[in-house]
Structure 1
Amino acid sequence: MKKITSFVLSIGLGGTLLLAGCGSTDSKVSDGVNTMLDTTEQLSKAIDSGDQAKVKEVGPKLEDQWSSFEDDVKKDNKELYEKIETYLDPTIAGSEAETLDKEALAGLNNKLTDALSELKETTK
């Protein structure tokens, strides 16, 4: 009887740890998306105001933020991963450009924000 009780408790504990691990991936993605959305909002404000120094400061942060959870997105949602990648790299490149092309960069940033918002909806 003792062995059965231990076995059942072990399975229960293992299942709980497994579920907690799944939740932490969702949490990691959700936290990462929220951080990136905050950054795209800051970038949008800097673009609108024409503050090139702020654009150059904020834009490159997106790469580090994305790299912290992109593998989880790629594994679980390849379509949104590709959509984000489509707009992320040009947005970062535009933020690092010598001259600020407000219209082009604002458009890219808006598309990136839309893709991130779409990902956010899937992690709820």
Structure 2
Amino acid sequence: MKKLTSMVLAVGLGSALVLSGCSSTDNKVSDGVNKMLDTTGQLSKAIDSGDQAKVKEVGPKLEDQWSSFEDDVKKDNKDLYAKVEKYLDPTIAGSEAKTLDKEALGTLNDQLTDALKELKEKTK
């Protein structure tokens, strides 16, 4: 009986550790996606207003935010990882360009935002 009790406690503890590990990864991804969505929102406003200084300030933040959780996304959601990457790099490059192409950068930012929203839905 004592062995059975010990085994049940060990299995329960192991399960709790595994589940808490999954939860922290999900929270990390969820928090990262929310930060990036906030940034793409700020970028959209700066693009719409033609504020090139703000675009150059906000756009590059996306790379640091993405790098903090991209490995988790790549491991668990390869298709969405590729989709975010497809729009992320051109959006960052456009935000750093010498002249602001509002239409092109706005479209890229919208596509990145859509990919992030899709990732957010999948990781709920």
* TM norm structure 2: 0.97
Aligned length: 124
Aligned to 1:41: 41
Structure 1 residue ranges without an equivalent (≥5): none
Deviations along 1:72-107, one digit per CA (max 9) or x if unpaired, are 111111111111100000000000111111111000
Q: 1:123 Cα deviation (Å)?
A: 1.1
RMSD, aligned CA? 0.8
Name segments (4+ residues, structure 1) moved above 2 Å. Answer: 1-4
Secondary structure in structure 2 of the residue aligned to 1:57: helix
Q: CA deviation at 1:3?
A: 2.7
Q: How does 1:107-122 map to 2 (within 5 A)?
A: 107-122=107-122
Counterpart residue identity of residue 103, structure 1: E
SS at match of 1:97: coil
Aligned residue for 1:88? Answer: 88
Alpha-carbon separation, structure 1, partners of 2:123 and 2:22:
12
Which residue type is aligned with residue 83 of structure 1? K
| 1:5 Cα offset (Å) | 1.3
The 3-state SS of whatever aligns with 2:53 is helix
How do 1:1-124 and structure 2 match up within 5 A? Answer: 1-124=1-124
Could you tell me which runs of 5 or more consecutive residues in structure 2 were left unpaired when the two chains were aligned. Answer: none
Q: Distance in 1 between matches of 2:119 and 2:82?
A: 11
